[in-house]
Structure 1
Amino acid sequence: MTTLTAEDLEFLRRPLHGFLTVAGWPVPPQPRPVWFEATDEGTLQAFSVADSPKLRALRRDPNASIVVAAPVGEPERWVAVAGRVTVEPDGARELCARLGARYWDLDNQANAGALAEMVDMDLVRFVLHPETVRRYSI
C-alpha cells in the first residue's frame, strides 16, 4: 500500500513520537524520535535544525522511514511509512510552534521558554512522501 488511510491519519494525528530512520546514516541504522505532523495531503512533515546530521544525510540520500506505535497500555498498533523526503525552505518555524503546542503543556513556563528558543533556531521543514505504508493493529 502506498497511501495513508483515514484510520492511519486519525492515529497519526495523535501526539505520538515518530521514529525516523534515514538511509545511509548512521550505520547501522539508528532511529531517532521526532515530532511530526500528518497532513491532509497524506504526507508526514517534521522539522530539524538546518545543519543537523540527519538533514545532511537526507540531502545525500532522500530515502527515509517513520514508524509510529501506540503507547504502552493500548492494544498493539503501529504505522510504518517509507519514501522520499523533500527538504522545504519554508514553514519550519510555524510547524515547530504547532507541534510544540501539540506535544507539550505550554502553560508550563519551562516548556514555553524551551519552545520559544526552538522556534528561533535555524530550522527547516522536511516532508516524507509515502511510497510504502505498512500497518498493524490488534
Structure 2
Amino acid sequence: MNALTSDDLEFLRRPLHGFLTVAGGQPRPVWFEAAGDGTIQLFSEPDAPKVRRLRRDPRASIVVAAPVGERERWVSIEGRMSVEPDGAQELAQRLAARYWDLGDPDRAADAKAIGDTEQVRLVLHAETVRRYAF
C-alpha cells in the first residue's frame, strides 16, 4: 500500500518519535507531523548534515513505533523528501507544543531558541507505506 490510511494518520498524530533515515545517513530520532495531505513534515537547520544529504539525494524513510507497554505497532514510510523554505518556524512551534510542556520555563526558552534559529521544512512524500500491528 502506498498511502497512509486514516488509522495510520490517527497513530502518527500522537506525540511519538520517528526515526528518520536519509540516503547516506544513519537513523535519527525526530519530531514530525502527519499532514492531512498524507505527507510527513519535519524541520531542521538548513546546514544540517541530513539537509545536505537530502539536497544530493532526496530518498528518505521514517519509522514510528508504539511505545513500550502498548501492543506492538509501527508504520514505515519511504519516499522522496523535499526541502521547503517556508512554514518551518510555524511547524517547529506546533511540534514544540506537542512534544514539550511549554509551561516549563526551560522548555519555553528552548522553543524560543528554536524559533530564533533559521529553519527549513522537510516534507516526506510517501511512495511506500508499510505497517504492522499485533
Bin of the TM-score, shorter chain as denominator length: over 0.9
The Cα shift of 1:62 comes to 0.1
Give unmatched runs, 5+ long, in structure 1: none
Partner of 2:10: 10
Counterparts of 1:11 and 1:34, CA distance in 2: 16
Q: Percent identity?
A: 66
Among 30, 33, 48, the alignment partner of 1:34 is 30
CA displacement, residues 13-48 of structure 1 (integer Å, 9 cap, x when unaligned): 0000010000122xxxx2001100000000000000
Among 22, 40, 43, the alignment partner of 2:39 is 43
1:1-138 matched pairs, under 5 angstroms = 1-25=1-25, 30-138=26-134
The Cα shift of 1:69 comes to 0.2
* RMSD across aligned positions (CA): 0.5
Give unmatched runs, 5+ long, in structure 2: none
What residue identity is the alignment partner of 1:66?
A: I
* Divergent runs of 4+, >3 A: none
Counterparts of 2:104 and 2:118, CA distance in 1: 24
Counterparts of 1:109 and 1:2, CA distance in 2: 42
